[in-house]
Structures are given as structure tokens and as C-alpha cells.
Structure 1
Amino acid sequence: MSEEVLKDAEARMEKAIEVLRSELSTVRAGRATPALLEKVTVDYYGVPTPIQQLATITVADARLLVVQPWDRSTLAAIERAIQKAELGLNPQNDGQVIRIVVPPLTEERRRELTKLVRRFGEDARVAIRNVRRDAIEELRRREKEGLLSEDESRRLQERVQKLTDQMVGRVDALLEQKEKELLEI
């Protein structure tokens, strides 16, 4: 019964890390990746549609993305959506596909992106700590209700803390990896 508190806490902490991974994948490191266009939505016959549902996005080389729509009539709408997304990318439409050259990052832009990545990391740490707080409060509540002994509650709280430390360590490792990628020229 008390193990379910730990399992729930672990699952919620894993979700926080997955959200961080998702956010980090949208931060471009001067290298072309389809994840750059993940959050772009295209106005497709009046319905905002994710670009992945309208086209194939491939990496032609380290600095070039190619967007090939399944329906050529959507080329202009996709091109407008990429421009509106304010990703700092300039799509080039040749009537068949859209080519997007990913420009190299300036030193100033690298520093800005590093700050953004750190903010994402701090948000993930806060989310993990909130999960820890909720789990410990639940364990204390169960202890007060007589569902757990004091020793059992303390032992489980220590396990929650160890789990929290482990998850924060994973967040730090992800951030370190992304910062290294951003500052690499």
C-alpha cells in the first residue's frame, strides 16, 4: 500500500524528465533536427494541424532540413507557418519541397540558449521537488491515520529523498549534455 506512493512519485518524476527532454529537443544547437519543427502548427483548411501530420521532415545534412508535404497544395501554408513560428529559420520553397538552412549560432545566441536550457532544468527540478513534497505529505498523513508505523514512514521518506536525488542527477546530466552541445562550435 505504501509502496504505491513511491511508485506514483517515481512515475510523476519520470514525466517531469520527459517534459524536460521534450523542451530540450526543441532548442536548436546549430544542427538541423526534425525536432526543431515539432511545435509548428499549420493552418490546414482552417484547422491548426501539426506539421508532422502534413509532411515528411528529413535532415539532408548537418545544416539542412527538407520538408516534403504529402499534398503540394499545402506548401505555401507550411512555409507561412514556419515563418510565423519565429524559430529564426528562413524556409525556401521550390514548388516541390521546402528547404530550411539552419544558420550557425552566434556566441550571443549560444549564451541565450544556455540560459533558456538552465531555466528548463530548474523547472524540472522544481517539478521533481513538488512530487517529493506531495509523496512525503502523503506518507505523513498515512502515519497519522495509523496506516504506517513511524519507522516505516521514515524509511519510505528516505527512499523518496533518494529517488529525488537520483532524478535531479538525471536532470543535471541532461542539462550538462545540452549545454555542451550548445557551446560546441
Structure 2
Amino acid sequence: MDPAESILETEVAMQAAVEHLVHEFASVRTGKASPGLIENLDVFVRSYGSQMKLKSLAVISTPEPRMLVVSPFDPATTPEIEKAIRESKLGLNPVAAERSIRVPIPELSEERRRDMTKLVKQLGEEAKVRIRAIRKDGMDAAKKMKADNDLTEDGQKDHEAEVQKLTDKHVKDIDEHVAVKEAEVMKV
């Protein structure tokens, strides 16, 4: 394997881990309405006979800062969508109307906000673990290239230094994302 290709693969994998964290943060509840909060809920649709993501069954909009409106593509799926939102662990109470479902987003209590920040920190730590695993793979690749005589000893050290630099950069990105999300959750 080419050393430059190995570094590129490591960087792409680390960037994917950070993007995954940002995607997970979209489902963490804050005090304001966001379609990302419910778009990935699994809904069992009896007429289709399968589980589907809410975003593939309806349009989710935010007409007000504390309100989500779910407009199903097929009005027959409204009861199943309403049930999935109600039974999710988000603590939301949807109200079905004629052709849509209104989902008010209640104010978070101080205790609930603290629980959410703990969840944010946990998701951040899981992302850091993924970054460290990718770092280990990058370091192992350097050792393998040295063993295969694709790299000199100095080349191996340079490669490992580059992998460590990428690791530090992406861990810092994760810390920044965690801090922003914690501030968002704690904001009243």
C-alpha cells in the first residue's frame, strides 16, 4: 500500500466518524423544534407490512420554534406515525389533525437538560473511541509498510506522526462539536 493512500484512508475514516457524531447529535433533543429530532424514528406501517423511517413516510416541517408538523404522504399512515412518535423515548405528545400531525416540543426541565448533556458527552466519547481505533489501524498500516519494505524507519515515524496529527485534529473537532451541542441543550 502507498503511504499517501494510507494517510488519505485514515483521514477519510476519521472525518466519517466526526460526521456520524454530528448526525447523531441531530436526534438529541434541545429546547427548540428540529426535524432531525424525529426523522429517523422507525414506524411500523401495517398496510406496507414493514418498518420504515419517518422521513420516508412524511414531510417534517417547523412552522414555529416549538412545533413540528408531520405531513404524511399517505394519510392512512397517520395513526401509525402518531403512535411511533408517542412511544419514542423523546417524551413528545403528538396531536393528529386532518392531514397532518402536530408535535409540540415542551420546555426541557433542568434535570432533563443535564441528562441530555450526559448523553452528548457519551456520544462524544464513543466518537473518540472510533477515532482511536482508526488511529490504531493507521499505525498498524505504517508497521506493515515498514515490514514490507515500502517505508524506511524514518518514513514509518513520519507516517505515524501524520496519523497522530490527524487524530489530534479530529479529537479537537469532536470536542468542539460536543461543547456547541452542550451549550445548545443547556440554553433556556
The alignment's TM-score, normalised by the length of structure 1, stands at 0.97
Contact 2:39–2:54 (CA under 8 A) maintained in structure 1: yes
Which residue of 44, 48, 51 maps to 2:51? 48
Deviation at 1:95, TM superposition (A): 2.3
Give 2:28's aligned residue. Answer: 27
Give 1:10's aligned residue. Answer: 11
Give 1:136's aligned residue. Answer: 139
Partner letter of residue 64 of structure 1? M
Partner letter of residue 13 of structure 1? M
Contact 1:37–1:51 (CA under 8 A) maintained in structure 2: yes
Superposed, which structure 2 residues align to 1:85-104 within 5 Å?
Answer: 85-104=88-107
Given the alignment of the two structures, is residue 111 of structure 1 paired with residue 114 of structure 2, yes or no? Answer: yes
Contact 1:79–1:91 (CA under 8 A) maintained in structure 2: yes
CA distance in 1, matches of 2:64, 2:179: 25
Per-residue displacement from partner, 1:88-144 (whole Å, max 9, x unpaired)? 100001222100000011000000000000000001111101111111111012112
Contact 2:29–2:90 (CA under 8 A) maintained in structure 1: no
Of the structure 1 ranges 46-55 and 168-177, higher mean CA displacement relative to structure 2 is found in: 46-55
CA distance in 2, matches of 1:55, 1:132: 40
Deviation at 1:38, TM superposition (A): 2.2
Superposed, which structure 2 residues align to 1:53-92 within 5 Å?
Answer: 53-92=56-95
CA distance in 1, matches of 2:178, 2:147: 39
Of the structure 1 ranges 25-34 and 39-48, higher mean CA displacement relative to structure 2 is found in: 39-48
SS in 2 for 1:90: coil
Contact 2:40–2:55 (CA under 8 A) maintained in structure 1: no
Count of aligned residue pairs for this structure pair: 185
Partner letter of residue 42 of structure 2? T
- Please provide the CA RMSD for this pair: 0.9
SS in 1 for 2:94: strand
Given the alignment of the two structures, is residue 181 of structure 1 paired with residue 184 of structure 2, yes or no? Answer: yes
Give 1:123's aligned residue. Answer: 126
Deviation at 1:23, TM superposition (A): 0.9
CA distance in 2, matches of 1:94, 1:4: 55
Partner letter of residue 121 of structure 2? R
Consecutive unaligned residues in structure 1, runs of 5 or more = none
Contact 2:31–2:187 (CA under 8 A) maintained in structure 1: no
Partner letter of residue 95 of structure 1? E
Runs ≥4 in structure 1, deviation > 4 angstroms? none
Deviation at 1:76, TM superposition (A): 0.8
Partner letter of residue 35 of structure 1? G
Contact 1:75–1:95 (CA under 8 A) maintained in structure 2: no
SS in 2 for 1:15: helix
Partner letter of residue 77 of structure 2? T
The alignment's TM-score, normalised by the length of structure 2, stands at 0.95
CA distance in 1, matches of 2:153, 2:90: 53
